[in-house]
Structure 1
Amino acid sequence: MAEYAQITYTVAGGVATITLNRPEARNGYTVTMADELAAAFAAADADHDVRAVVLTGAGEDFCVGADLSQGGFDFDAEHGPEPHWQEPAGRCARRIFAMNKPVIAAIHGAAIGAGSTIILPADYRLAATDARFGFVFVRRGIYPEGASAWFLPRLVGMGTALDWMISGRVFSAEEAEAAGLVHRRHPADELLDRAHELAREIIATAAPVSVAVTRQLLYRMSGSDSPLPVHALDSKLIGGLTGNPDAVEGVLSFLQKRPPRWTLRVPEDLPDFLPWLDGSSATGTDDAAKADEGDEDDRHSP
């Protein structure tokens, strides 16, 4: 298992737990942390022993945003970044977006700036009752990061996204839950247990290939101009169920009132006609983005 400097990565019971681990700096976000997070999510996606991922932070806060005291960005300030340079929050957000496995963010204390943007692609966002969120970029004279201008309106609607981003104000977990950013709130001392409990429930009941396909269907197809291309893909998927052992197992386990025993695995058994795979090896990476970036992924790996 890889060694990390600013995060921790553990696997137990099918759940990978990725923890921001700079509590002395309130988990201030750095380029190193960004690259380690991207690497850890990639490792979880490739590991057959991992069925779900929990993302959290050590100490009293989830993440208070960028820590520029650690040297700023990884390019020369005088000459600026190379053409395909990726800002740090997006390196994590993009990798979560590409995941084949569900991601549960467990957020406590302050989740400001990058602390709010990197959680947006997660499948679930559970918050401690003391959590505080803030897309504070305009109050720092900077701009939204982590592709948050794409993710946030899809989660909470354009009106709320405009309010939060144009004002840059910090808001409570209660407001976040009411707007749909947060799925559920829990007492801080119960938060991580509830996140792992949810992960174990998904592992026990949901077929991994079905989860992977459904997750990407929602993200990649819900923005289509009409339902017709979505229905065309649905038809291919449903038409292949007669040869799908997990579909047979799902019905049998229901009729026999027993836990399911799934046999299909991610990524090997993903349907090869999924348009976002684009003829790749189905690793769960964003292939179109990779083609644009050339060898940039190597430069940003730890």
Structure 2
Amino acid sequence: MSEAGVRFERQGSTAVVTLDNPATRNALTPELKEGLAAAIAKVKADPEIRAVVLTGANGAFCAGGDLRGIAAAGQLESDALRARMHGTHAILRELLTLDRPVIAAVDGAAYGAGFSLALAADFVLVTPRARFSMVFMRMGLVPDCGATYTLPRVVGAQRARELFLSAREVGAQEALSLGIAMEQHEADRLLPRALALADSFAAASPLAVSLVKRIALDPGALDAALENEANAQALCFQTTPHRQAVQRFFDKQPLAFQWPLQEE
């Protein structure tokens, strides 16, 4: 079943949710977010689904936010901008707090909000061509979609700040070494491995799985992070550096902010 650029399939006790909008490299357009929200709702409504595999089609996981939508959002007032972010964050919160294991199978780019989306999973599997970037700083924005909550818990505070502020790209091997990814597989083995992990939970106690996830989550800290992100992003959307960065992107010019390369 396909809805708004998101394919939803049942494979035994596993739901496979595939982001599939080749025109945007699976960016989080309003339509795709709507499809993702619908997929999560289907999972929550079906107790026979014991795990979720989240992946992307067409050689990309998720390219991040929809830049044309972001450019239009910059014309909104602060309250409308915060409301827009709250709508996106509600979807990510549903995924982060889902009482079933979520396995992200990442092939290709997971940029910006796409990186945040991968971090919302319990396990991240990658191919050698997986690439992650908290690209927000290049666009004059702050990390969102829960990244300020999830990334420091994965890589530690100092490394998270470096990834946030540098906006640099992280390849598959570094993602493994930092703990962002759990395993690497060739592209033709990525989905089978993700499905095998997901299928193992068919024999697990749903209550125990749910409680493990609940205990590991700090809902107060998550809600505070999401609110801080929404407020900060609403401010950044209206700044000159952000608008200039969007225009440079559309004009196919190099973005002004570039992290210096490390000298050999």
What interval of TM-score do these two structures reach, taking the shorter chain for normalisation?
0.7 to 0.9
186-195 or 38-47, which deviates more: 38-47
SS of aligned partner of 1:19: strand
Contact 1:90 1:118 in 2 (8 A): no
2:259 aligned partner: none
SS of aligned partner of 2:217: helix
Q: What do residues 71-120 of structure 1 show as CA deviations (whole Å, max 9, x unaligned)? A: 44897934444486142652332111120111000001111111101121
2:50 aligned partner: 51
Q: What do residues 209-243 of structure 1 show as CA deviations (whole Å, max 9, x unaligned)? A: 110111111113898xxxxxxxxxxxxxxxxxxxx
Q: 1:218 aligns with which of 183, 196, 216?
A: 216
Aligned length: 222
- Cα distance in 1 for residues equivalent to 2:202 and 2:161: 36
Aligned pairs for 1:229-248 (under 5 A) are none
Q: 1:209 aligns with which of 207, 210, 214?
A: 207
- Cα distance in 2 for residues equivalent to 1:161 and 1:84: 24
Q: What do residues 144-192 of structure 1 show as CA deviations (whole Å, max 9, x unaligned)? A: 1112111110111112111111111011011011011111111111101
- Cα distance in 2 for residues equivalent to 1:89 and 1:106: 21
Contact 1:136 1:169 in 2 (8 A): yes
1:195 aligned partner: 194
Structure 1 unpaired stretches of 5+: 224-285, 290-302
Contact 1:34 1:91 in 2 (8 A): no
Structure 2 unpaired stretches of 5+: 227-264
SS of aligned partner of 1:33: helix
SS of aligned partner of 1:64: coil
- Cα distance in 2 for residues equivalent to 1:218 and 1:124: 14
- Cα distance in 2 for residues equivalent to 1:21 and 1:142: 26
Contact 2:73 2:81 in 1 (8 A): no
2:15 aligned partner: 16
% identity of equivalent residues: 36
- Cα distance in 2 for residues equivalent to 1:81 and 1:107: 34
1:105–1:89: structure 2 CA closer, same or farther, 3 Å change rule?
Answer: farther
Contact 1:19 1:55 in 2 (8 A): yes
Q: What do residues 246-272 of structure 1 show as CA deviations (whole Å, max 9, x unaligned)? A: xxxxxxxxxxxxxxxxxxxxxxxxxxx
- Cα distance in 2 for residues equivalent to 1:116 and 1:83: 21
SS of aligned partner of 2:148: helix
Contact 1:31 1:74 in 2 (8 A): no
Q: Is residue 19 of structure 2 the alignment partner of residue 36 of structure 1? A: no
2:245 aligned partner: none
| CA displacement at 1:13 relative to structure 2 | 0.3
Q: Considering only aligned residues, what root-mean-square deviation do their CA atoms show, in Å?
A: 2.4
2:103 aligned partner: 104
SS of aligned partner of 2:26: coil
1:85–1:191: structure 2 CA closer, same or farther, 3 Å change rule?
Answer: same
1:182 aligned partner: 181
| CA displacement at 1:31 relative to structure 2 | 2.0
Contact 1:108 1:130 in 2 (8 A): yes
79-88 or 30-39, which deviates more: 79-88
| CA displacement at 1:20 relative to structure 2 | 0.5
2:254 aligned partner: none
- Cα distance in 2 for residues equivalent to 1:32 and 1:140: 22
1:81–1:4: structure 2 CA closer, same or farther, 3 Å change rule?
Answer: farther
Q: What do residues 39-62 of structure 1 show as CA deviations (whole Å, max 9, x unaligned)? A: 211220220221100000011111
Q: Tell me the TM-score normalized by structure 2.
A: 0.77
2:147 aligned partner: 148
Per residue, is there more helix in 1 or in 2?
2
Match for 1:159: what amino acid? Q
Contact 1:137 1:143 in 2 (8 A): yes
1:116 aligned partner: 115
Contact 1:89 1:117 in 2 (8 A): no
| CA displacement at 1:202 relative to structure 2 | 2.0
- Cα distance in 2 for residues equivalent to 1:108 and 1:39: 23
Q: Which has the higher contact order (CA 8 A, sep 6+)?
A: 2
SS of aligned partner of 1:118: helix
Aligned pairs for 1:149-164 (under 5 A) are 149-164=148-163
Q: What do residues 16-54 of structure 1 show as CA deviations (whole Å, max 9, x unaligned)? A: 011101023211221221232122112202202211000
Q: Tell me the TM-score normalized by structure 1.
A: 0.68
